[in-house]
Structure 1
Amino acid sequence: MLGLLLRCLIAFVLLAATYNPTEWNYARKAPALWGEQTPLVVLAGLVLLTGYIIYLRATLRSIGAFGMALVTALVAALIWVLVDYDIIQLNDPGRNTWLALVALSFVLGIGLSWSIVRRRLTGQADIDDVDD
């Protein structure tokens, strides 16, 4: 469980570093710093791209596009229930962005962790698995 939460947290950091409603994100800082700090902007972009490739490739390999859609639908249904019971409100665009970042990080964290979860639930290893 701790591993899943850690993977979700790292996915959240990756997503929030790329874009969030504050001014402290790559999408807003990169254009402003392009002329004076171009190498740093390129390096940061490549680091983010590497993180996305790792997460997306692992997620697509473990649960596939259908699985990603299913986990996204489950998260969306959970948000719908929370809104319906007035536990959360969707009237603030900034809060909605943070909520979307949390939802997407959960999808990516589940995708990265799915092979481990499946192996523990079923006792079956994926074909890619090697000795643990």
Structure 2
Amino acid sequence: MGFLTRWFCAFALLALTFNPTKYNYIKWVQDYGGMNLSIAVLLGLLLAIGYIIYLRATLRSIGPGGMMLVLALAGALIWVFHDLGILRLDNSSLNVWLGLVALSLVLGIGLSWSHVRRALSGQSDVDDIDE
């Protein structure tokens, strides 16, 4: 599984939870969750499992400081595109999508960082587990 697959899965997880369209978990639960409570809970648990996997791996691999650096890099890139006139930030839907892309990059890089570190340094990361 390559970085693009990990990033796309992170983006899908975030976009399924919330996006500016009406097709997301939060909007669906607000509108129909009361009528389908068992399905809402099941889908919520599946999303929570996805978040736990991604957040745990990201926090273990790059930590909070690394997460902030990736977000700062994404923010700086958006700022450059805005300053060059490539990107306009007056569209709130576009801003939400940009936020989803930035957050999914953090999660995708966090899940992929061990592979990148191994490729660059030749050293593998292992978890120390005392059984």
TM-score range, shorter chain: over 0.9
Aligned pair count?
Answer: 128
Aligned match of 2:96: 97
Deviation at 1:6, TM superposition (A): 0.8
Write the distance in 1 (CA, Å) between the matches of 2:34 and 2:102: 34
Unaligned runs of 5+ in 1: none
In the TM superposition, 1:1-132 aligns within 5 A as 3-128=2-127
Deviation string, structure 1 residues 30-79 (Cα, Å, up to 9, x no partner): 12222211100000000000000000000000000001011111111111
Deviation string, structure 1 residues 107-126 (Cα, Å, up to 9, x no partner): 11000000000000100111
Q: After the TM superposition, which segments of 4 or more aligned residues of structure 1 sit over 2 Å from their partners?
A: none
Q: CA RMSD in A?
A: 1.2
What amino acid is aligned across from residue 126 of structure 1 in structure 2?
Answer: D
Write the distance in 1 (CA, Å) between the matches of 2:74 and 2:33: 36
Write the distance in 1 (CA, Å) between the matches of 2:53 and 2:126: 19
Write the distance in 2 (CA, Å) between the matches of 1:11 and 1:126: 22
What amino acid is aligned across from residue 119 of structure 1 in structure 2?
Answer: R
Write the distance in 2 (CA, Å) between the matches of 1:44 and 1:33: 13
Unaligned runs of 5+ in 2: none
- Counterpart secondary structure, 2:127: coil
- Counterpart secondary structure, 2:80: helix
TM-score by length of 2: 0.94
Which sits farther off after the overlay, 40-49 or 29-38? 29-38
Which sits farther off after the overlay, 53-62 or 31-40? 31-40
